[in-house]
Structure 1
C-alpha cells in the first residue's frame, strides 16, 4: 500500500512540475530572423528600421537586435530564462528606440534583465532594470519588453516606467525574406524617341521576374488608365504585410533582378511592330526587350542575345510581320489568352499589359479586325 501511495505521489509531483518546466523554453517558431513591417510599427528615429534574430539553446535565449541598415546599432543579448537575473554590461551609450530624445545609456553601468517564457512559450517577456542618463542626471528605469508570436508575425512592445503618456511603443515583424519586393514609379513618357525603350524594358523585366513569386511592382503615372496602382500598392503594404525597396533606374532594376532573366531580345525603333513581336519572344524565352541603345546595359550583367529584329522587318507590312511571328512562335504560346496591343499608335505605345502577357507566354499583336483590312483580318480570325 505504501508503495502504491508513493507511486501516485511521485506521479502527482511530476504532473505539477510539467507546466513550470515548460517556462524554460519558448515555441520553436520564435527561432530565426525577423524584419520590420514599417506600416504597422512605431516610428524609429534615425535608424528607421529594426531586425531581430532569436536563437534558443535549452533554457538560454540569444536575442540579436539591429536598428538600422547601413548606419546601425546592434546588440546581442544572451539570457538565461526562467526567472534568473542576468547582468548585462552597458558598453554603448546609444538609446536606439529614439536617438533624438537626448537620452543615453551610462557606459560602465549594468542592466539587470529577467527573461520569462509565458503563455505556453508564445510570449517572451524581459523585465529590465537600468539607468538612463538625461540632462538632469541618471534616472532608474523599469522597462518591460514583450515579444509575442501571432500567426506568422512577431509583435514587440516596450513599456517603460518613465513613459506615462503617448501611444505604446510597438513593432510588428515578419519572417525575414518573406513578402519582400521592389517597386518603381514609371514616367509619363511613352514615345519611341523618348522613354518608351526604357519603359518597355522595365515591363518585360517585370513579366519575367515575377514568374514564381511577386518580386517587383510598378506605380503608373497619375493620368494613366490604371488609376488604381497606388491604392493596390498601399493594400499590399497595409493588408498583406509586404515591404518594398524602391528602384530608381532601369540599370538598378536589372542589377536587382538579373538572376531571373535568361537573355535579351532587340527590337527595331524604326519598326514599331517589332517591339510587339519582341514581347512575344520575351515571354517564351524569359528575356527582356531592349532597343539598340540599351544593349550595353544588359550585356554588362552578362545577358546574351536571343533574338535581334534590327532590320529584319524593314519595309514589311504588319500582316507580313505578324505572319512571320505566327509561324515562329504561335505553337509555343499560351492558347488561353492573347494580347491585343491597341490604343495608341504612331510614335507612341503604352504597353501596360505587356508584363502580364510575358508572364503568361501570350502571343502579342495589334492586327486590325476590320473586314476591309483583308490580310490582317484574315490572320486575326486565324488567331
Structure 2
C-alpha cells in the first residue's frame, strides 16, 4: 500500500514537471488569432523586414552612378591692366628746318644743281637766261616772280662782274630770300589773353582749313605737337564730323602729347563742336584751342558757307586768332586757286605747306606769298610726327640750293 502511494506521488510530480516545461515554450510561439487580428503589439511596434531585392535590382544598387553635379561656368578672366598712354615731349622746334634740309632733295635738283649750273657757265647769253627762267617757272615760282628774279640777277651779275660759283650762289640766294619777303610775320599767334573784367584767360583760337586730301587732320595733329614743343598747352576740337575716322585720328595725335580732344557724334553740327571746344578751352585755361574742320572743295558753295558759319559761331567767344590753310605742295599752281577762295571765306592768316619733300616744285612757297600776300608759316617735310617745321626764308633757300650755308664759301 505504501508503495502504491509513493508511485502515485512520483507520477504526479513527473506530470507537473512536464507541464511546467511545455508552458514557457507555448508562450514564446503564440499562434495567430483565428479572426486574423493582431494581439499584443501594434503594427508600428513590429520591426520592418528588409526589402527583398532581385538580382537585377541588386546589381543596379551596386553600380549606381554617383550623383551628377551641375557644372558651374568658369569665372571670366580678369582684364589685363591698361597701361596709361605714354605722353611724348617733342623737342623745341628751333632749328628743325635745318635738321630736315636733306628732305628737300628733289627741289634741290632744280634750284641747286640746275640753277647754279646755269649761272656758272662761262658765258651767260640770252639762251642761258631763258633756261634759268624756264627752271624757275617749272619749280612753280610763278611767271611774274620769275621775271623779277631773273632781271635782278642779270643786272647784278653785269654790274658786279661776278663769275665764281660762290658769288653767283650768294646772288641767287639773296634774290630768292627777297622774293619770299622775310619781313612777313610768320609767328603763330597762340598766346592766351586775360580778360580785363575778371582776369580769366581766353585761349587763342586756331582754325585749320583745307581741301580734301591735303593731309589736314594729320597736319592738325602735327601743329599741336609744334605748339606743345614750344611750351604751349593745347586743346583740340574735332569739328570734322563728316569723316568717321577724323575724330579718332585727332584723338590719337592728341593723346601722344597729353592734350584733350572735344568731339561730337558723327554727323553733328561742326559749328556746335567748335563752339564747345572753345568753351572747354576757356574752362580749362589752355593757351590755344586748335579746331580741325572738314575738308572741302573750294568750288562747293554750300560747304564753304558752312565753314564761314563755323568761324562766326566760334567768334561768339572772341576773335579767331589764326586761320591756317593746309596746302599740298604737290598740287603746284592749283593750290593758289584754293587759297584764294578760302581767304575770301575765312580770312586765312597763314599757310601750312605739306608734302614739300615729295616735289621738285618748291617754288610754290614764293608763288603763294607773292600772289596772296599770306605768309607760309609751317612746312611739312616728311611723314614723321615732328617733320613739320616753322618756315624761315633764309634756311629754306639754303636747303634748296643744297650747298654750304649762306655767307660761306662753297
TM over 0.5: no
Q: Which has the higher helix share?
A: 2
Report the TM-score when normalising by structure 1: 0.22
Counting strand residues as a fraction of each chain, which structure ranks higher? Answer: 1
RCO higher in structure (CA 8 A, sep ≥6)? 2
What TM-score comes out, normalization by structure 2 length? 0.21
Structure of higher CA gyration radius: 2
